[in-house]
Amino acid sequence: MLTIVRSLALNGLEGYIVRVEVDVSRGLPGFDIVGLPDAAVREAKDRVRAAIKNAGFEFPAKRITVNLAPADLKKEGPVYDLAISLGILSSTEQIAPGLVNDYMFLGELSLDGSIRGLNGILPRVSLLPCDGYDQVVVPAENADEAALIQGIKVYPAANLVHLIRHLKGEDIINPHMVDAHKFWTSRSITGDMSEVRGQLAVKRGLEVAAAGGHNILMLGAPGSGKTMLARRLPGILPGLSLDEALEITNLYSLAGLLQSNQPLITERPFRSPHHNTSMSALVGGGKYPRPGEISLAHLGVLFLDEVAEFKRDVLEALRQPLEDGVVTISRVHSSVTYPAKIMLIAAMNPCPCGFLGDAEKECSCTPLQVQRYLNRLSGPLLDRFDIQIDVPCITFNDLENSPPGESSEIIRQRVQMAREMQTARFGKEMCNADMSPAQLKKHCLLNKESMELLRAAFNRLKLSARAHNKIIKVARTLADLAGCAQIQIEHVAEAIQYRGMEMKYRETRCWYR
């Protein structure tokens, strides 16, 4: 007898329906699973057999064939255990045929018949409602996560026996409801900008970066506060909307990084990979492609400390995601795309020893060593940093005598106002850094004086077309922070100052003073 049970699969973050076709027929006992299953799916045979027996049902001594359709797409993970077991029970009439027709089933079975939680429940359930299906059975521990999607009925099941009693109408499982806003708590940002003494120019650069979603590169000696400043950047970013929180949670669910007591990510991510990170760990990859650090930082901050110590090919792999806001991972049989709309903040020393240009400590590096060290950042990658800023060493007077600076909350309010101006301008949640050439031409008109200043800087610094556009985008953000409808010459002048690398090293391309 043939039974069709439906489940959900993923290709990247794109879900699709899988028909779990179970046929139980006469013949030599056997259990085959076809339809491009991976090892975890093939191992379902042993889990399903033990779970059915230990739940008090009879496992048939017949020929069992399970087809996972469509057969041309790779199936991975234990997500189909529950659907396969129900298909067998229905085909052997231990439960009435037709009871499983109105549901999608997701869940891994333990040998005792309990239903274990899964990674990637949220992106799977996000596919619903579709094709008339709006009911899904999920593991009980994934119930909050699945119920975040509106318009569907989520039934949490703890074990196979309880689920079958529900299907028979003997012990009804009520649809699980959840209010997403209950997971929003007060912001638990570590560190405040007021704790950083001095460094007013760098704080200003970070505020501009946060207001416009710009990438920023900080160059300074060891101990100047680069890492401390970078870790306080999330505290001045605006809060997440519900749609943004769901986007991030989709990725963390797929990666298995959701905490059981926090099924919704409500704060912007801050990812800081080590400089030994591989390319696949940073941009994503693997035999079955998974999101990397750049995707896990989606709508948040990716911080590359000691960026010059990263491998050259790893850094170059960032160029396309920074430009497009997505990562595409291609394999022989398919390709997957993950979102990667990030703010990139990088920090580095000015030379191998770290003290080039320091007023107190003498640099021990040769000009050739300095050039080789700083040339680890290629010109095309450097172009993608909208803001490049020096972080000077802190003096004793700065540490002991300077008054506390503005708090992160005060700075965040200004950033929020600038972001609201951008939302009104573009008609959607979008930052100045993401403007297309057409939007740049429409929203960033320069007066005659500003145009002349930009032309002089372009010719003198030998800027690229990308750097030219980034200066205008930063100037637009500076105008937003000032509450100005039009870009003024002072905004262009400050934006040009943030092209610090071109200004300092334009003659020799060797970064030493």
Complete edge-to-edge strand list for the sheet that includes strand 343-348:
270-271, 301-305, 343-348, 216-220, 387-391
The overall average pLDDT reported for the chain is 91
Q: pLDDT for 15-40, tens place per residue?
A: 899 999 999 999 999 999 999 999 99
Does the pLDDT of residue 435 top 60, yes or no? Answer: yes
Indicate the pLDDT class of residue 510, thresholds 50, 70 and 90: very low
Backbone angles phi, psi at 285, to 5 degrees: 155, -155
Backbone angles phi, psi at 228, to 5 degrees: -60, -45
Do residues 364 and 353 make contact, with C-beta atoms less than 8 angstroms apart? yes
Q: Which residue has the tokens 């170059």?
A: 316
Q: pLDDT for 374-413, tens place per residue?
A: 888 888 898 899 999 999 888 778 777 778 889 999 999 9
**CATH code of the domain occupying 2-178:** 3.30.230.10
Does the pLDDT of residue 507 top 80, yes or no? Answer: no
Q: pLDDT at position 429, please?
A: 83
Domain boundaries, the chain: 2-178, 193-428, 435-512
Q: pLDDT for 311-357, tens place per residue?
A: 999 999 999 999 999 999 987 777 899 999 999 999 999 889 988 87
- The superfamily in CATH containing domain 193-428 is P-loop containing nucleotide triphosphate hydrolases (3.40.50.300)
Q: pLDDT at position 506, please?
A: 46
Do residues 472 and 495 make contact, with C-beta atoms less than 8 angstroms apart? yes
Q: pLDDT at position 503, please?
A: 57
Q: Which two tokens stand for residue 279?
A: 């390319």
Q: Which of 126-130, 160-164, 176-180, 217-221 has the lowest mean pLDDT?
A: 126-130
Q: pLDDT for 337-346, tens place per residue?
A: 999 999 999 9
Round to whole Å and give the CA distance between 281 and 245: 23
Does the pLDDT of residue 508 top 60, yes or no? Answer: no
Q: pLDDT at position 502, please?
A: 61
Q: pLDDT at position 289, please?
A: 87
Better-predicted residue by pLDDT, 504 or 270: 270
The proportion of the chain whose per-residue pLDDT surpasses 90, expressed as a percent, equals 75
What is the full DSSP assignment across 372-409? HHHTTS-HHHHHT-SEEEEEPPPPHHHHHHSPP---HH
Which is nearest to 99 in space by CA: 151, 155, 53, 144?
155
Q: pLDDT at position 59, please?
A: 97
Do residues 481 and 490 make contact, with C-beta atoms less than 8 angstroms apart? no
Backbone angles phi, psi at 8, to 5 degrees: -130, 140
Based on its alpha-carbon atoms, the radius of gyration of the chain, rounded to whole angstroms, reads 28
Q: Are strands 343-348 and 301-305 parallel, antiparallel or unpaired?
A: parallel
2-178 and 193-428, same CATH topology: no
Neighbouring residues of 197: CB distance < 8 A, sequence distance ≥ 6: 394, 398, 399, 402, 404, 405
Round to whole Å and give the CA distance between 143 and 158: 10
Number of H helices and E strands in the chain, helices first, is 22, 16
Round to whole Å and give the CA distance between 18 and 8: 5
**DSSP assigned state of 174:** P
Q: How many residues does the chain have?
A: 513
Q: Which two tokens stand for residue 284?
A: 């994503």
Does the pLDDT of residue 204 top 90, yes or no? Answer: yes
Does the pLDDT of residue 505 top 80, yes or no? Answer: no
What is the full DSSP assignment across 131-164? TTB-EEEEEGGGHHHHTTSTT-EEEEESBHHHHH
* pTM over the 0.85 mark: yes
